[in-house]
Amino acid sequence: MSNAIFDNQAFTISHADDGKFIGAGLRPFFEYRDLGINAATAGAYGAHVIRAVPGLESPAEWHSHDLNFQMVYVTQGWVVFEYEGTGEHTLRAGSCVLQPSGIRHREVRHSDDMELIEIISPAEFATKGEDAP
């Protein structure tokens, strides 16, 4: 990653061949690659690539997040999310979803080759376990 400071943000570039996936994230059945946006925006925004850990499945637990913005864009494979008030949705490569703050949702299942990009604001946010809607 390369950084130069401009006002309240830093210029940053993240290359796939330099990126490392880490398994210590919000969900143990996913691995996360930080894209450097958190550090470049002093935590105002975050972005990472999330990929499935082959052979691990989601427990499909309902939850919600306290944040200002959450967008998911699937780059490979597929993932099924269920959202409060709208039901199950299968997202495939090229699918995008904006998840409003506080919406109850769960990741139901995914392909072993699933990979997506998530952009959030702020970079650090609370996740709360929820009852099914």
Domain boundaries, the chain: 2-129
Round to whole Å and give the CA distance between 121 and 102: 13
Q: Would you say 31 and 113 are in contact if contact means Cβ atoms under 8 Å apart?
A: no
Q: What pLDDT does residue 37 have?
A: 95
Q: What pLDDT does residue 24 have?
A: 62
Looking at domain 2-129, its CATH class is mainly beta
* Residue 110, token pair as written in the block: 């995914």
- Under DSSP, the state recorded for 112 is T
Round to whole Å and give the CA distance between 23 and 45: 21
Tens place of pLDDT per residue across the chain (133 aa) = 455 556 788 888 888 887 788 776 566 788 999 999 999 999 999 999 999 999 888 888 999 999 999 999 999 999 999 999 999 999 999 999 999 999 999 999 999 999 999 999 999 999 999 999 8
